[in-house]
């Protein structure tokens, strides 16, 4: 039943846990292309800025691209003051 489940849920999982400072992406038989977990975006850093924790599991050749996309999305949101997490 993996294929029908993938068609319904997708092959990549994504979760944002608003109240968590850190969350480890789970292993999944359904999400064979990877799983991305993001924490809240309000963890204080040493220099006073806010940061987030990101956990990604999946095939190395896939997750490298996911990291680039996440960086781009977050940078655009920060620049435009549109970070609603």
Give the mean pLDDT of the chain: 82
SS3 assignment, position 24: coil
Give the pLDDT band (50/70/90) at residue 83: low
Domain ranges of the chain: 2-79
CA 12 – CA 25 distance, rounded (Å): 11
Report in angstroms the alpha-carbon separations of 50 from 21, 53, 64, 74, 77. 11, 11, 23, 12, 13
pLDDT value for 46:
92
- Yes or no: say if 43 and 21 are a contact pair by the CB < 8 Å rule: yes
CA 9 – CA 22 distance, rounded (Å): 24
Give the pLDDT band (50/70/90) at residue 47: very high
């Amino acid at each position: 039943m993996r294929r029908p489940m993938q068609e319904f849920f997708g092959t990549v999982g994504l979760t944002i846990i608003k109240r968590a400072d850190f969350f480890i992406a789970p292993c999944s038989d359904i999400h064979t292309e990877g799983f991305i977990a993001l924490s809240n975006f309000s963890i204080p850093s040493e220099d006073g800025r806010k940061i987030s924790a990101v956990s990604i599991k999946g095939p190395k050749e896939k997750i490298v691209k996911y990291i680039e996309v996440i960086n781009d999305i977050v940078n655009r949101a920060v620049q435009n003051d549109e970070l609603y997490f």
